[in-house]
Amino acid sequence: MDDKDLLELFKEEGKENYAFNLIVDKYGERLYWHIRKLVASHEDANDLLQETFIKAWAALPRFREESRLYTWLYRIATNETLTFIKRAKLKAFLSLSDYSRQLENQLEADPYFNGDNTQMIFQKAIMRLPSKQKAVFNMRYFDELSYEDISEISGTSVGALKASYHHAYQKIQDYLKETI
Amino acid sequence: MKQKNYIEDPHLKENPFTVPQGYFNEMKSQVAEKISASGSTTKTGFITVIRPHLALVSAFVIIFFIGFAALTVFTPRVSESELSTLTAGNKYIEEGFLKTTFIDFFDIDAENETGDIHTIPSDEVMSYISENIDIITLTSLE
């Protein structure tokens, strides 16, 4: 069922829950991985994903279809995650520690990380990026979204996104060269 | 020699993260439970529709009360003793003890002057006329 049909179904009296469950079914996994790659921890990713869907459920009746459903959901998920990271960074700053260092430690101790050493180093390089740049890099590199879609999600111009991706790419490449 | 481009290695594009077994099914039912518990409040209800209007009305009411409070605070008050004097005055006016009007104040002096004239006895007037005016003048007055 495509997004248009899902939205039509959602508008029908008494079918909101069913339609929304279909939306969760369709996009839940994709959004989870998007969040997970930003926060590393499974527990945090799960909480943020549920929060994303609760917000989407509350806002869906006002969704005016000016953007596509999946970019709209991505936007909610990205905003939720970036807000979470901002709070976590502030918390880390107040406790005189470094947030990216915390993420690296979390990654090393994560029982749900099955990557090899190269993948570990690669993920650490991504964790060192500023959070918005990290989100742009992940959406482009892993999710293979077009710059136009990322622009719709982030509200940033395509030109600025290309520059951001290029900077992120360069930083990661430099880190990999030094570390591997 | 060309340097190795690590990022373009397809191996790095693979997802190194995993989830607990059966997580996605569990997540879907957790979300379903949460949205069921929140009820069907997501539909555009009456309150949602009138909320902006209510906000506007509330803003006007608040502004009115702020203005009223400002006037009350900054306007000089009439003391209780002054108020009681005024009230007593009104009472006298109502009962007819004080019949002072604008015309009364205006005519006070004139009334006094005519009062003086009326107090001259008529005998004195007659004797003054007979001493000072001759008979011809008197007949011409008729």
Question: Using 50, 70 and 90 to split pLDDT, how confident is the model at B96?
Answer: low
pLDDT of residue B124: 83
What is the distance in angstroms between the Cα of B66 and the nearest Cα belonging to chain A? 35
Q: Does B42 touch chain A (CB under 8 A)?
A: yes
The pLDDT of A139-149, averaged and rounded, is 95
What count of other Cβ atoms lies within 10 Å of the Cβ of residue A75? 17
Phi, psi torsion values for A14, nearest 5 degrees: 85, 0
Is the pLDDT confidence value at B39 over 90? no
Both tokens of residue A60?
Answer: 């869906």
Both tokens of residue A104?
Answer: 């690296």
Is the pLDDT confidence value at B45 over 70? no
**B6 vs A62: CB contact, 8 Å cut-off?**
no
Residue B87 DSSP label: H
Chain B positions touching A114 (Cβ under 8 A) are 16-18
Q: Give exposure, B118-141, as e/b (b: 16+ Cβ within 10 Å).
A: eeeeeeeeeeeeeeeeeeeeeeee
H/E stretch holding A59: helix A42-59
Q: What is the CATH number of the domain that holds A114?
A: 1.10.1740.10
Q: Longest C-alpha distance within chain B, in Å? A: 157
Mutate to test the interface with B, among A41, A43, A48, A57 (most CBs of B within 10 A): A57
**B28 vs A24: CB contact, 8 Å cut-off?**
yes
Size of interface A-B (CB pairs under 8 A): 97
Residues B15, B16, B19, B21, CA torsion sign: positive
Helix axes A16-39, A131-141, angle to 10 degrees: 110
Chain B positions touching A36 (Cβ under 8 A) are 17
Q: What is the total count of domains within chain A?
A: 1
pLDDT digits (tens, 9 = 90+) for A32-72: 999 999 999 999 999 999 999 999 999 999 888 888 999 99
Q: Which range marks the domain in which residue A84 is found?
A: 3-179
